[in-house]
Amino acid sequence: MTERTLVLIKPDGVERGLTGEILRRVEAKGYVITRLTKLDAAPDQLAAHYSEHEGKPFYQPLVDFMLSGPVVAAVVEGDEVIKGFRSLAGQTDPTTAAPGTIRGDLGRDWGVKVQKNLVHGSDSVESAEREISIWFG
Ligand code: DAT
Ligand code: MG
């Protein structure tokens, strides 16, 4: 089923100069980037985006990390792209994310309270629509 998903390249990915490499993988897989912007996230955007994690021990480190530098936001389209991008991204923990994935190939643990894992991808159709409106209005 044709879907769209919200992809964020987090501040670690932008800072490390991996924006092109990450978007290359998205396009090489065959998905289509339909919106693309670089911006400094606002605190209210992050509160909305990460509301499901409020109260967890990594919540404030996560928000602080996402405020630490610019992010790149993209809307990516294709059949089954929600599941497909999360497969490209790999598991949350970059230490054990499978080689071949964005997090597994390009990420690692940096000894901080939040997992800096380069990318975000929506986890359901409902999340995707909610998140696209947060980042693209
Ligand atoms: P994902 O980004 O794989 O969907 P998530 O939604 O569970 O993962 O968590 C959002 C982000 O929060 C995740 O990308 C990195 C960080 N995070 C999650 N679990 C964590 C943990 N146990 N310790 C540190 N950071 C964590
Ligand atoms: Mg998530």
Task: Give the pLDDT of residue 49.
Answer: 98
CATH of the domain at 27: 3.30.70.141
pLDDT band for 1, please (50, 70, 90 cuts).
confident
Point out the ligand 1 atom lying closest to the alpha carbon of residue 113: 24
- The pLDDT value recorded for residue 101 is 99
Residue 72 to residue 70: CA distance in whole angstroms = 7
Structural domain boundaries, residue 113:
2-136
pLDDT tens for 10-64 read 999 999 999 999 999 999 999 999 999 999 999 999 999 999 999 999 999 999 9
pLDDT over 90 at 86, yes or no = yes
Q: Is the pTM above the cut of 0.85?
A: yes
Ligand 1 neighbours, Cβ below 6 Å, are 53, 58, 62, 92, 114-115, 117, 120, 123
Q: How many domains does the chain have?
A: 1
Which ligand 1 atom is nearest residue 86's CA? 3
Phi, psi dihedral angles at 62 (to 5 degrees): -65, -50
Ligand 1 centroid from CA 91, angstroms: 9
